C-alpha cells in the first residue's frame, strides 16, 4: 500500500527535516513545496510560480508515484492534491522555539548576508516577521487557523505532533501512527 504523506506546520517547525528523515526510514522520497512554489532565483524565494505551474511540476516529478512525502504548506493552492494524500502530519512548536530554529537555519543558509547592512538583511527581517505571524488568526498569510480549517476538511488521517523532540523521535511517532504493529517490532 502506498503512502503519500504531507507534512505541514509553521516555518521553523521542522517539516522539511522530518520529511527527509521519514523518507530514509520509509524508503521513500521527500519533496519540498517551496521547490514548486518558487522559481529558482539568486537570492532564493523572490519569484512565485503560478499555482497551475506548481501542480504541473508536481505531476511530472512525483504525484503519480505510490509513495512520497511532501513538506511545506499546499493549503489553498495545492488543494487538487488532497485526494492523493493518505496521511497528513501537522507539526506545532512554540513561536519562541520556531524563531530560534529559523534564525539558526537562515544563518547557515545566508551567512553574513543577513547581518546588519548585509544584502539580505531586509529580506531576512521580513521573512522572520512573516514566520512569526503564523500564530495570529487575523494574519492574511499562512497561519495556524487556516491550517486548522484546511485539515478539518480532509478525509485522510491527520497526525498531530509537538515538534520539540529531535526529528528521529518524531519519525518514530509518525511511523507508529502509520502502522502501530511496526512500532512494536
- Res 118: pLDDT: 62
Q: How far is it, in rounded angstroms, from Cα 85 to Cα 87?
A: 6
- Res 185: pLDDT: 45
CA distances in angstroms from 134 to 62, 69, 98, listed in the order given = 28, 23, 10
pTM of this structure: 0.88
Q: What is the pLDDT of residues 32-84, one digit of tens each?
A: 999 999 999 887 788 999 999 999 999 999 999 999 999 999 999 999 999 99
Domains present along the chain, CATH in parentheses = 4-96+143-184 (3.40.50.300)
- Res 46: pLDDT: 83
- Res 121: pLDDT: 66
- Res 132: pLDDT: 82
Instruction: Identify the bridge partners of residue 69 per DSSP, sorted by sequence position.
Output: 5, 30
Indicate the SS3 state at residue 13: coil
All residue ranges of the chain with pLDDT < 70 are 1, 110-121, 124, 180-185
- Res 139: pLDDT: 86
Calculate the CA 125 to chain-centre distance: 20
User: Hey, which bits of 30-73 come out as E strands?
Assistant: 30-32, 68-71
**Torsions phi, psi for 69 (to 5 deg):** -125, 140
- Res 102: pLDDT: 86
Amino acid at each position: 500500500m502506498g503512502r503519500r504523506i504531507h507534512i505541514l506546520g509553521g516555518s521553523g517547525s521542522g517539516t522539511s527535516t522530518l520529511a527527509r528523515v521519514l523518507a530514509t526510514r520509509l524508503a521513500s522520497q521527500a519533496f519540498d513545496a517551496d521547490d514548486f512554489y518558487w522559481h529558482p532565483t539568486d537570492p532564493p524565494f523572490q519569484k512565485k510560480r503560478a499555482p497551475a505551474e506548481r501542480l504541473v511540476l508536481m505531476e511530472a516529478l512525483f504525484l503519480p508515484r505510490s509513495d512520497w512525502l511532501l513538506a511545506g504548506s499546499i493549503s489553498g493552492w495545492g488543494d487538487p492534491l488532497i485526494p492523493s494524500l493518505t496521511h497528513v502530519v501537522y507539526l506545532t512548536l512554540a513561536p519562541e522555539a520556531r524563531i530560534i530554529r529559523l534564525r539558526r537555519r537562515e544563518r547557515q543558509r545566508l551567512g553574513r548576508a543577513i547581518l546588519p547592512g548585509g544584502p539580505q538583511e531586509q529580506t531576512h527581517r521580513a521573512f522572520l516577521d512573516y514566520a512569526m505571524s503564523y500564530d495570529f488568526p487575523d494574519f492574511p498569510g499562512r497561519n495556524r487557523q487556516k491550517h486548522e480549517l484546511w485539515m478539518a476538511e480532509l478525509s485522510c488521517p491527520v497526525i498531530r505532533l509537538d515538534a520539540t523532540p529531535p526529528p528521529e523521535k518524531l519519525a518514530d511517532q509518525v511511523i507508529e501512527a502509520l502502522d502501530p504493529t511496526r512500532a512494536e517490532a
